[in-house]
Amino acid sequence: MNGEKKDMADACSKVGNNAVQVVAETSKPITPKKVKPVAGNGSTPDPLPDIKSARSLIESKLALPAQVVHGLLHRGSKMVLGGGSKSYKTWVLQDLALSVANGLLWWGMKTNKGRVLYINFEIQEGFFAARLNQIAKAKVLDTVGFDDLDVWTLRGYCADLAELMPTIIERVKTRTYDLIIVDPIYKGMGARDENKAGDINSMLNEIERLAVESGAAVAFGAHFSKGNQAAKESIDRISGSGVFARDPDSILVMTKHENADTYTIEATLRNFKPIEPFCVRWAFPLMVPDANLDPDKLKTPGNKIKKFIAHDLIKALGYQKLMTKEWETKARTETGMGERTFAKLKKEILEAEQPEVVKVEDNQWAVARNLSLDDRQAQHKSKHEEAGAEVQ
């Protein structure tokens, strides 16, 4: 990794007004593909692929690219995650990176374990590392969980993607990546105008070039335009040119829900069957799916965000194991909610299809994902014993 940083640092060491020029002058050119001569005119090179008959195309039985996230994203495809400012998009993309690197579920969707590169244009390395540690702990990963995830921090080296791309592609070709995340995409706009279709189209062509040359899926985040988004079609909420809503193969849009720190996820997919909208909510340091919420209830100017939600009770438990009264007292002290609200939210949590809070011992509660392995195994055994008793 030190050598990788040095190469880009050498290419961008004179960062400032001359950053784009320095990268362009020092980047290695990409070796062009070998091409066949155009029939009938000797050795004139033709950079385009041959025309094929539909019959030969079908009979060739081309293998489809492997899925990176099942039902959502293939290798060689592009995905955009759209959301408002400060909507945890980087946290979500870091979660995606660790999930793919370890073959774990991401928002309930299966992933194929593969190597991931996270190109970080924005977060200082120390903070980026701290976030990864927090996410890994929440996903119960040890240090081995980082082995198939590479991070390339280019904060301070940002320039037009057209100028950076030769260096990026040259570097990623040294390893086989299944997923490359570019975050955030606006750092590669250069002098482009996000409202001009031609400008955005040329930038996304660079993303496509990266996907084609590397064979990896490429994901990036994009921000919403200002104002309330509920009245717009999901793909029209992303700021700037409509190219953002037409070019990517997979589009995920995070729109504020009427509940606090909760979002409705809507997907527009080119190569997969539709995914029904669903909700996720912020449970630091992860965005977790919540099947109990109605994805149609978006935040609008007329409706108020609910003051207390189930997540407030889960947050109050934290990493502790508490008796019911202790849990209620802590939740009421930290949030100001009343006794009836506590009882209502506790019932909502426990009646969920996959409850996040579980009973550890008699009248003692804990957040399931924060239990130790021994606690989880004991709880699993207890559930099986209870199920056996019911059958008898």
Instruction: Share the mean pLDDT of the chain.
Output: 80
pLDDT > 90: percent of the chain: 41
pLDDT of 192 reads: 81
Give residue 87's pLDDT. 87
Residue 55: the pLDDT is 93
The pLDDT tens digits for 173-201 are 888 999 999 998 888 887 787 778 888 88
* Structural tokens at position 250: 């997979």
Q: What is the mean pLDDT of residues 384-389?
A: 47
Residue 167 pLDDT level (bands cut at 50, 70, 90): very high
CA distance 323 to 272: 46
pLDDT tens-digit profile of 222-236?
Answer: 876 554 544 455 555
pLDDT digits (tens, 9 = 90+) for 301-343: 655 556 677 778 888 888 888 888 888 888 888 888 888 888 8
Using DSSP, how many helices (H) and how many strands (E) does the chain show? 12, 14
* Residue 116: Cβ-neighbour burial (10 angstroms; 0-12, 13-18, 19+): buried
pLDDT in tens, 19-55: 333 333 333 333 434 444 444 444 555 688 899 999 9
Average pLDDT of span 87-115:
96
Domain locations in the chain as residue ranges: 67-289, 310-391
> Using one digit for the tens of pLDDT, what is the confidence trace for 58-89?
998 889 999 999 999 999 999 999 888 788 99
Record the pTM.
0.68
Residues constituting the chain = 392
Q: Tell me which of 10-14, 56-60, 119-123, 355-359 is least confident.
A: 10-14
* Token pair for 368: 């399931």
- Cβ atoms 263, 278 nearer than 8 A: no
Q: How far apart are CA 186 and CA 192, in angstroms?
A: 10
310-391 CATH pick, 1.10.10, 1.10.1740, 1.10.3470, 3.40.1350: 1.10.10
Q: Indicate the pLDDT class of residue 202, thresholds 50, 70 and 90.
A: confident
Common-topology check for domains 67-289 and 310-391 = no
Question: Which CATH code for domain 67-289?
Answer: 3.40.50.300
